[in-house]
Amino acid sequence: MFCPEPVFRTKIAIEKMQVGEILTVRADDPAAEDDISRWVNRNGHKLLSLKKNDNIIEFSIKKVK
């Protein structure tokens, strides 16, 4: 999936979660690293970790609000 799809799907998943829950997102679009990181910060959530393994980027996001 190419952007904005990873951000869009992350947004939908976060909306279904309770505050304090953690979402793991895996993306293979290089643009997702910046796009999802910015979306998380802009929306007041917390990026717990970002890992890269070959062409896969894995985010751990905590829902804050």
CB-based burial of residue 27 (10 Å sphere; 0-12 exposed, 13-18 middle, 19+ buried)? buried
Clarify whether 3 is annotated catalytic. yes
C-beta separation of 44 from 28 below 8 A? no
Catalytic one among 1, 2, 3, 11? Answer: 3
**Active site (catalytic) residues:** 3
